Amino acid sequence: MTPAVPEIRSVPVSAITILNPRVRNRRIFDELVASIANLGLKKPITVSPREDGGYDLICGQGRLEAYIALGQAEIPAVIAEATPEDCFVMSLVENLARRQHRPLDLVREIGALKTRGYSTQEIAAKTDSSAEWVWAICFLLDNGEERLINAVERGFIPPSVAVEIAKAGEGEVQAALADAYEQKALPGNQVLAVRRIIEQRRTSGKAGISGSRGPRPNRPVTADALVRAYRRETDRQKLLVKKVSLTQSRLLFVVNSLRQLLDDDHFVTAPAGRGHAHPAQTSGRTARPGGGLRWTSPSKPPSNATSGSSRSRTSCRCGRSKTACCVRSSTGASPAPSPRSG
């Protein structure tokens, strides 16, 4: 079934509302404006119509602002039917899929979804993230722990360890790290990374600004708590690696099985010999010498119709035709005796 072609029309730029505005780098924006001015718009923006006749922007804020900067009154847009909430989520997912974003910019988008009333599980499903990671990010955002968020996004510490640090006072964390190092429960490089983050957090504050540390809970943090948090994150990552390996093994098994079936002459020719036509999806496929498939037009025979692969369809190892030999054997009938046999 052919997918529906999206509707593209010219939309007034003044009628478009940006639901999820983002601050842009001025140099990159100027390059985008120059590109559109010289080459034109390569990809339309995506909008959703509102009941009042306006439009909500789903993706394409930079292109829209570039058109406005160039003094254009209208812009080509793909029209997609969606609710304002779905438009916001689609815009968020589109932003998350972009590269060259600062980690803090991405997690703020997660916080915006949380503010709009989405649960941790819903955010995890919409952004293809784990619920544990989403919960940790939301907790750190609520407590203004931008420095810890950056450390998590850069892979310096697991989210669970960052949460434990945010919940405790500075002295408690330092003592817990010392105990963990003495007990060899955490790797030395991990302890050093956490110490550096804590020192930066103490001198520059949670958000990199002095004096912005805010209140701290009184819950004590021990070496065991840090070790448990680190091991939970390690176990989660190991489980993810196992799932990926299992999926890869299954896919390789399926691919190899299909390759063996397609290389088997009986599998390819037996349905045709019994009067069964190939499905429309496989009517344009021909066997390639040495195994595999070669795509050809269903209305045109392959150019190498007389190649060895084609001859293998009409003859058998015994020298007789497939119809006279193999097909009869597959249906249960005895093959006709060979004239050369005694």
CB 58 within 8 A of CB 48: yes
- pLDDT 10s digits, 210-229: 333 444 444 555 666 667 77
- pLDDT 10s digits, 80-137: 887 777 777 777 766 665 544 555 666 777 887 888 788 888 888 877 778 888 888 8
Alpha helices (runs of H) in the chain, residue ranges in sequence order:
26-39, 61-69, 84-97, 103-115, 120-127, 131-142, 146-153, 159-167, 170-182, 188-204, 223-263, 265-273, 308-314, 326-331
Mean pLDDT value across residues 28-46: 88
pLDDT given at position 312:
45
What mean pLDDT is reported for the chain?
Answer: 70
Give the global pTM: 0.35
Write phi, then psi, for 315 (nearest 5 degrees): -130, 160
pLDDT given at position 195:
62
What CATH number does the domain located at 1-100 have?
A: 3.90.1530.10
Listed by start position, the domains of the chain span 1-100
Instruction: Using the structure block, give the residue that is written with the tokens 């007034």.
Output: 12
Question: What is the DSSP secondary-structure string of 256-305?
Answer: HHHHHHHH-HHHHHHHHHTTPPPPGGGTTEEEPTTSSEEE--TTS--TTT
- pLDDT 10s digits, 151-203: 777 776 777 777 777 776 655 665 666 565 555 555 656 656 666 666 666 66
